[in-house]
Structure 1
């Protein structure tokens, strides 16, 4: 019996503007990013696979999830297996984000290790916009009002010094992430979360303030694990960690920290191309006490990502107002205001970076380049991973204005920053994008283009 042609998939490929070869390349990029070297069924495909799927053959293994992710990124909306004519179970990533799951149970699920966790998350899907739907107000109220669990006197007593221990470790790994990238050290963070931090949360607290402080500190550590996974392009894992962090922050009653984590989820959604969902998350991050109870520096960070989400959704007037408000908030931050014991790096350099991204999305490339330059100038090269990402965006904006040689000079600085131990999927993606944006200029005999393209190709060959 002849197979029925998969017209759904054929139409989506047509909408994406992909040939079979281009669809294959996009699939393999997402698979390499997601599987991180793990060999699975359909972990790499050829053009014949795409032709067979269009011809009516059902994709198996991880293929439906990977193909959906590749198409979602291209079309800037979520594509489900059903939309491309494939059958797939509900993603375990979505199940892991079930808001009904108690945070201590979610934390104990980390106990099988990072590699097992990745396999579980990939069994039925990858990063999903459906998993970004937040719980209602009743959930937040119930979590914050959750009474402390009954504990045995045999469990260890947890005091303020234990809270400080978790915060000090978070600070140390956060600084390493800024300098070396999220691909370095996340396993150690997860090991600490599932063992020591989990043990603290199940202990006997000196008082309720200590209990809430420990939940808040652990939430920030879980957030850091999520941010490191996001930076290393492990997007399904990152979303699961962010979800855990939100639950822990909600249990602690720390509204500004909840906003901080929702802001990170919005940032990830923007990078993944889910603009509508990013705006919903960003709006939630600045809602009520998440913004009102935050310090000026925290409000500036929440506000500037909200501005980015507004710009990505073509709400330029609102984005411009949000930018001004974020600038005002940061200008009101001074030494006399006590900042929370929070691990985040946000100052003039970070504001300039996010402002530049917002202006870029608003179509104002000239001002965007100016703000990228301000970010580079005020940050310096100490935080190398962040430095490389900023320079990568700046070069892309310069070449969009026709400044090819100027962009090449900027991108050469990206490779300078990344040499010598940067483990970051986001920074690596800037090099991939660099080569893509240079491709129309390769045959024009521009010396700077040839030299930079060869250097970028050599770098990618070494890290892939």
Structure 2
């Protein structure tokens, strides 16, 4: 299914339209195809919007502006895909794949796994049509990450391996490290061959250390040390090494950029979860109190679900003053009234 080149534009068009009210989707389906000529300026605009939406997602989470991304796919991207031809077609399809991939990422963060999967698959198709192996690998890697998160590690490993296969024709060292790290995490989650999982993790770190260029602005190459620390933490967690997982997750949180609110909050809640597994509720509470501003700003159902799980796990420790303060913070986040005063 992932290799099929049929119904690509129709699939994207109907998928994006399905996220809008039925009456709007119906009107869009009846619209005639645009006759405007597609050119490099259209590709540049789509990529610029992908960057804007990506920045907003980093700051505020997938629950914010997700409908705007879907509408952008319907109104601006899909009509161009339907008429694109000639030399501009691959570039346009690659740019469309970037926006579609972002839509999938935001849907996953908003706890819409089925919709996220359909967006990711469409991004794979668009990237295949564009002959853009890095974008194809990116979408496959996110499918792998989602499969592992949903409790399907064997499928996740197969998808991570497919992502690596997409890079066999050549890829930046940093991108290869990013994909190898996902293979390590997925293999660890299967419970099979933990030594190989560690070898893959070591290979990830080695590649990252030898990457001969600064982090790329494109998301296919934007893999830095803090990303590796997160990946290492998840891999070690899957292998049952809680102290190691805590060390790496803490390092990831500590080195995140100010603009990476959602990621810092998500990794921070995973760190707090590990600290609770180690019977250290006060440490988990301190971690979350240190993320108060991020938790207040980010709109992410995935984050809210994790915070609810944390509150359930530390019920018996709420007599501790630090835990009590953190619990009030999490309660306000869940109610949508969080502030930085806790």
Band of TM-score, shorter chain: 0.7 to 0.9
Equivalent position of 1:105 in the other structure: 10
Are 1:381 and 1:417, in contact at CA under 8 Å, matched by a contact in 2?
A: no
1:290 aligns with 2:167: yes
Deviation at 1:346, TM superposition (A): 2.1
| Structure of greater Rg | 1
Note if contact 2:107-2:115 (Cα within 8 Å) is conserved in structure 1.
yes
State the Cα distance separating 1:463 from its structure 2 match: 6.8
**What is the root-mean-square deviation in Å for CA atoms of aligned residues?**
2.7
Equivalent residue number for residue 437 of structure 1: 313
One of 343, 349, 363 as aligned partner of 2:226: 349
Q: Is the 8 Å Cα contact of residues 127 and 136 (structure 2) preserved in structure 1?
A: yes
Q: TM-score, normalised by structure 1?
A: 0.65
| Counterpart in the other structure of 2:266 | 389
Structure 1 Cα separation of the partners of residues 313 and 222 of structure 2 = 30
**Shift in Å, 1:225:** 0.3
Q: How many residues align?
A: 328
With normalisation by structure 2, the TM-score equals 0.87
Q: Name stretches of at least 5 consecutive residues in structure 2 with no aligned partner.
A: 26-33
Measure the CA separation in 1 of the matches of 2:163 and 2:61.
25
State whether residues 295 and 333 of structure 2, in contact with CA within 8 Å, keep that contact through their aligned partners in structure 1.
no
1:330-409 matched pairs, under 5 angstroms? 330-335=208-213, 341-342=218-219, 345-409=222-286
For 2:149, the equivalent position in structure 1 comes to: 271
Task: Report the counterpart of residue 462 of structure 1 in structure 2.
Answer: 336
Deviations 1:311-339 (A, max 9, x none): 101131111111111112222323389x5
* Structure 1 residues without counterparts, runs of 5 or longer: 1-95, 121-153
- SS of 1:327's equivalent in the other structure is helix
Aligned with residue 231 of structure 1, among 100, 109, 112: 109
Partner in structure 1 of residue 124 of structure 2: 246
The equivalent of 2:327 in structure 1 is 453
Structure 1 residue 390: deviation in Å? Answer: 0.9
Give the Cα–Cα distance (whole angstroms) in 2 for the partners of residues 111 and 381 of structure 1.
31
| Residue 412 of structure 1: aligned partner | 289
Partner of 1:191 in structure 2?
Answer: 71
Match of 1:171 in 2: 51
Q: Please give the alpha-carbon distance, in whole angstroms, between the structure 1 residues aligned to 2:151 and 2:234.
A: 14
- For the Cα contact (< 8 Å) 1:220–1:343, is it kept in 2? no
Higher relative contact order (CA 8 A, sep 6+): 2
SS across alignment from 1:258: helix
The change in CA–CA distance for 1:97 and 1:247 in structure 2 (over 3 A counts) is closer
Deviation per CA, 1:103-130: give whole Å up to 9, x if none: 111012035352558xx9xxxxxxxxxx
1:386 shift after superposition: 0.6
